[in-house]
C-alpha cells in the first residue's frame, strides 16, 4: 500500500469517527451517533 493510499484510508476512517453538525441539526447528530454512523458528533454554534 503506497503512502497516498494509506493517507486516504486514514482520512476516511477519521471522517467516520468525527463529524461536525450545525447546532440546528442536533437531532440529526444524535441519530447518527445512535445508529453508529459516527462516533463523535461535534455541534458547532
Structure confidence by residue, pLDDT tens digits, 15-42? 778 999 999 999 999 999 999 999 999 9
Higher-confidence residue: 35 or 11?
35
| 6 burial level (CB within 10 Å; 0-12, 13-18, 19+) | exposed
Residue with grid cell 500500500, as numbered in its chain: 1
Give the domain ranges of the chain: 19-45
Provide the strand spans (E) within the chain. 18-22, 40-44
Whether the Cβ atoms of residue 15 and residue 38 lie closer than 8 Å to each other: no
CA distance 4 to 41: 27
| DSSP classification of residue 32 | H
Q: What is the pLDDT of residue 16?
A: 74
Amino acid at each position: 500500500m503506497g503512502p497516498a493510499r494509506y493517507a486516504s484510508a486514514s482520512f476516511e476512517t477519521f471522517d467516520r469517527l468525527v463529524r461536525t453538525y450545525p447546532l440546528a441539526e442536533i437531532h440529526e447528530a444524535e441519530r447518527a451517533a445512535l445508529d453508529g454512523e459516527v462516533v463523535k458528533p461535534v455541534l458547532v454554534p
